[in-house]
Amino acid sequence: MLNKMVGIIDDIGGVTLFMKEVFRTGIKTPCTFSEIMDQTWKVTIQSLSTTAMAGFFVGAIMTVQFTLQVSQFGALGYLGGLATSGTIREVGPLLIAFMLSGKVGAFTSAELGTMRVTEQIDAIKCLGANPIQEIILPRFVGIILSSFFLLTIGLFMSIWGGLLMGIVFSGISIEEYVRHIPNIVSPVSIVTGLFKCFVFAFVLASICTYKGYNATGGAKGVGKAVVDTAVFTMIGIVIADWVTSAIGESVMELFLK
């Protein structure tokens, strides 16, 4: 138990120092714009279909859940606004983060881990390049940027999913569903969703690049890096969600009001 605690503290320290190195490299010797765009494109394409599908069904689930509540008060007209606001502020960013964690986090960690154990990272150094600049920075920024694209697509699909359920399950029209969306989905909701999306993507990108880059011990080590990435990103995202919900929103509302 004590060893595990020490291991976790060691990991937190390791990620912090690794991030310091990433930022230092990003400021002193940034990677090229095309490298970032290349990674952003890869990550977005990798997760596009699953995010879109999951977004659609999350919208549908939110509508079903809200229908059960608001129909008791005869407020079905607010269904679209409530479901969309809930998705933008909370469920959407969380969903995108979990999707990215499962697909992109595991993939990035395995890719970097394999590069480490097959000495490709050492080779980059020996050939006169900085591995942080060459392989970490583009992936790190790419994951964060792509999360915004995926959030937009996921939200768009969730509105369609919610709309379909609104018509089929709740028996309301399209006009009724969309009428209160602009009233309930405020700029605060959108900024909150985007901020959460950024924080979750940051947590994911730091953990998966750190774990992959520092993998040791051959195939077993790569496997361990991938499992650690999955576990730590899930825990990290949930903790980050709590922090941003508890502190972030009140701070943001203070600034926006």
Partner 1 sequence: MSDAQVQFINVIKSFGDRTILKGISFEAKQGEILFILGTSGTGKSVLLKNLVGLLRPDTGEIWVDGEEVSQISEEKYFDIRKKCGMVFQHPALFDSLTVFENVAFGVRKHYDYPEEKIKEIVKKCLKLVHLDDVEEKLPQDISYGMQKRVSLARTVAISPKILLFDEPTTGLDPVTTNAVNQLILDLSKTLKTTSLVVSHDMHCALAIADRIIVLDKGNIVDQGTPAELKASKHPLVKEFLMEATTHA
Two structure tokens written together for 118 = 């097959």
The answer to whether 55 and 153 have CB atoms below 8 angstroms apart is yes
Q: Which of 123, 239, 247, 256 binds partner 1 (CB under 8 A)?
A: 123
Q: Number of residues interacting with partner 1: please give it, by CB under 8 A.
A: 11
> Rule CB under 8 A: is residue 118 a binding residue for partner 1?
yes
Q: Which of 127, 250, 254, 257 binds partner 1 (CB under 8 A)?
A: 127
Measure the CA–CA gap between 58 and 54, rounded to whole angstroms.
6
User: Is the CA virtual torsion 155, 157, 160, 163 positive or negative?
Assistant: negative
65 or 130: whose CB is closer to partner 1?
Answer: 130
Q: How far is the CB of 104 from partner 1 (least distance, A)?
A: 16
- CB within 8 Å of 161: residues ≥ 6 apart: 55, 56, 57, 58, 59, 60, 63
Q: How far is the CB of 191 from partner 1 (least distance, A)?
A: 37
> Rule CB under 8 A: is residue 10 a binding residue for partner 1?
no
Q: How far is the CB of 119 from partner 1 (least distance, A)?
A: 4
> By CB under 8 A, what part of segment 190-219 binds partner 1?
none
> Rule CB under 8 A: is residue 253 a binding residue for partner 1?
no
**Options 61-69, 125-133, 205-213, 232-240: segment touching partner 1 (CB under 8 A):** 125-133
> Rule CB under 8 A: is residue 129 a binding residue for partner 1?
yes
- For 103-139, letters b (16+ CB in 10 Å) and e give ebbbbbbbbbbbbbbeeebeebeeeeebbbbbbbbbb
Measure the CA–CA gap between 183 and 81, rounded to whole angstroms.
7
Measure the CA–CA gap between 180 and 162, rounded to whole angstroms.
14
> Rule CB under 8 A: is residue 122 a binding residue for partner 1?
yes
Judged by the rule CB under 8 A, the positions of this chain that interact with partner 1 are 118-120, 122-129
